[in-house]
Copies of this chain bind each other. A is one copy, B any other.
């Protein structure tokens, strides 16, 4: 018994430490109070029949023509590990809010439902579910908060990163945004989501350990500043960290520092050290990169690349690319990890069916489509996406169905795709995007049609409710 305890705790601890937070094993109390209130109310009346909830985005943010599904892996990990610990149950009991019967129920609670989802890396649009949970009502209700919390963030960041990828064909993009991310989990998950969308990697060390994402690192101003002499700082760093050597040249005077790099290069070369690049982190990046390029080239350092960081987002990248400034890569911080122009998605997890009957919410501006749904995607003759249809699950439509069964009875189906497979799917999705959607200000919206049978079902649900609602 002791052995089992040790093993379980170690396993859980391992997952947690790695993430600095982590998906799978976060406390089940990371939820809204009303979920527990409703669960108690459901159980009091035996309302434990199968419920179907779907997660979708109601409306895309202004400058988004599409989103990219991400976070499913963390949702499945969360569902697999879902349980109340003894300590959590004791605490809940001590609040005086819940009855003993309810706490006993929670003690045995596991997630036993099914999950259907779009694979991570899939391009998706407003009103298209990317996840469906089918489970006994109390379970399906309890997980709402964390499911939204996990899916919204990574899908949002993957979409933001994709804008940068589309704006910078052939350039190396690296996530520098851990420090400005909203806490630990946001930092590590932003590294994952941006890698899915096509970033080359991240500066976040833990993202390599946990997900195998390539990591990149240069040097900070503090390294230069502890030296009285900038050239000496470059040389010391080069000797200590000779591989993939990138020198930061904007601490005092960028052009002067570029000339110091040129002067230092032969000495380093003699020691077998080659300079891979220089980094600019302030000032007019277009003007400076041109001047620095000239200094480097005239000094024979034509192979030394120029890497830029500091206040960069997709519009800055686009302007730099348009200007043909000689910048080879970008380190992107807060604009990426906070999705700065759209830091939240208008997304929900809504009841679509209970006890075999389709359900629908009709709140002003927040109406939902009832029933279990599928999304079908057609490609045009040019290989680009031509249009989607939102239909009931069994109502076959032309094109490829995007939603598949990924968990059954609380157990995963098959093995999880690798991160590189997910990344390849996202890359394929970006290639297939219609041209107007590839722009930073999407010129048109993508056609998502609602099938006739789905519209008919919505009308039937309304009619059923009207009969009930009208006295």
Instruction: Evaluate whether A37 and B219 lie within 8 angstroms (CB atoms) in the complex, with A29-B206, A226-B359 already known.
Output: yes
A252–B464 Cα distance when bound, in Å, is: 13
B contact residues around A362 at 8 Å (CB): 251-253
A106 within 8 A of B: no
Task: Judge whether B178 and A182 touch: CB under 8 Å.
Answer: no
State which residues 343-381 of A face B: CB under 8 Å. Answer: 343-345, 347, 350-351, 354-355, 359-366
Binds B, one of A20-28, A107-115, A266-274: A20-28
Instruction: Flag if A281 contacts B153 (CB, 8 Å).
Output: no
**Shortest distance from the beta carbon of A341 to any chain B beta carbon, whole Å:** 9
User: Looking at the complex, which one of B183, B222, B226 makes contact with A183 (CB distance below 8 Å)?
Assistant: B183
| Bound Cα distance A73, B464 (Å) | 55
Contacts of A230 in B (CB 8 A): 469
In the complex formed, the residue of B with least CB distance to A360 is B225
Q: Which residue of chain B has the shortest Cβ distance to A36 in the bound complex?
A: B205
Instruction: Count A interface residues, CB 8 Å.
Output: 126
Asked if A222 contacts B38 (CB within 8 A), the reply is yes
Given B10, B53, B223, which contacts A41 in the complex, CB threshold below 8 Å? B223
Please name all residues of chain B whose beta carbon is closer than 8 Å to the beta carbon of A27 when the two chains form the complex. 17-20, 206, 209
> Are A240's CB and B41's CB within 8 A?
yes
A363 engages B240 (CB within 8 Å):
no
Among B19, B95, B225, contact of A208 (Cβ-Cβ < 8 Å): B95
User: Could you tell me the distance in whole angstroms from the C-beta of A340 to the nearest C-beta in chain B?
Assistant: 6
A87 contacts which chain B residues (CB < 8 A)? 14
Q: Are A343 and B338 in touch, CB under 8 angstroms?
A: yes
Q: Which of A33, A181, A184, A351 has the most CB of B within 10 A?
A: A184
User: In the complex the two chains form, what is the Cα distance from A339 to B340 in whole Å?
Assistant: 10
Complex interface residues of chain A between 253 and 279 (CB less than 8 A to chain B): 253, 256
Binary per-residue interface labels of chain A (180-212) against chain B in the complex, 1 for a CB within 8 Å, 0 otherwise? 111111111100000000000001111011000
Task: Mark out the residues of chain A between 4 and 23 whose CB falls within 8 Å of any chain B CB in the assembled complex.
Answer: 5-6, 9-10, 12-14, 16-23
With contact pairs A9-B6, A204-B30 given, residues A468 and B361 touching in the complex (Cβ less than 8 Å): no
Q: Give the complex CA separation of A5 and B250 in angstroms.
A: 47
Given contacts A37-B217, A205-B33, contact A282 B365 (CB under 8 A): yes
A 220-259 to B, binary, CB cutoff 8 A, 1 in contact else 0? 1111011011100000110111010000001111001000
Residue pair A186, B186 in contact (C-beta under 8 Å): yes
Contacts of A428 in B (CB 8 A): none
Partner of A22, one of B21, B206, B469: B21
A254 nearest CB across to chain B (Å): 8
Note all chain B residues with C-beta closer than 8 A to A186: 182-183, 185-186
Q: Are B350 and A221 in contact (CB under 8 A)?
A: yes
Contact B225 A354 (CB under 8 A): yes
A12/B13 contact (C-beta < 8 A), A338-B344, A365-B282 known: yes
Partner of A21, one of B20, B35, B256, B334: B20
CA gap between A14 and B13 in the complex, in Å: 9
Contact between B183 and A21, CB atoms less than 8 A apart: yes
Whether a CB of chain B sits under 8 angstroms from the CB of A152 is yes
Taking the complex as formed, is A145 at the interface, i.e. its CB lies under 8 A from any CB of chain B? yes
Measured between beta carbons, the chain B residues less than 8 angstroms from A34 are: 203, 217-220
Is the C-beta of A289 less than 8 angstroms from some C-beta in chain B?
no
Tell which of B178, B226, B338, B365 touches A30, judged by Cβ atoms closer than 8 Å.
Answer: B178
Which B-chain residue is minimally distant from A223 (CB atoms)?
B38
Q: Do A153 and B182 contact each other (CB < 8 Å), given the known contacts A29-B206, A350-B221?
A: yes
Q: Which residue of B lies closest to A280 (CB)?
A: B363
* Contacting residues of chain A (140-168) with chain B, CB-CB under 8 angstroms: 141, 144-146, 148-150, 152-153
Bound: A468/B34 CA distance, A:
64
Whether the Cβ atoms of B354 and A226 lie closer than 8 Å is yes
13 A-B pairs whose Cβ atoms sit less than 8 Å apart in the complex = A16-B17, A16-B25, A20-B21, A21-B21, A32-B179, A32-B204, A34-B219, A41-B241, A141-B220, A148-B179, A185-B185, A225-B361, A282-B366
Please tell me which stretch of A44-52, A392-400, A435-443, A444-452 contacts chain B, meaning at least 4 of its Cβ atoms lie within 8 angstroms of it. Answer: A44-52
Please, how many angstroms separate the alpha-carbon atoms of A149 and B26 in the complex?
Answer: 20
A15 closest partner in B (C-beta): B16
Cβ A29 vs Cβ B465 within 8 A: no
CA distance A189 to B30 in the complex (A): 12
Inter-chain CA distance A284–B184, complex, in Å, is 37
8 smallest beta-carbon distances between A and B, as pairs: A33-B217, A21-B21, A183-B185, A20-B26, A41-B240, A182-B182, A334-B344, A34-B217
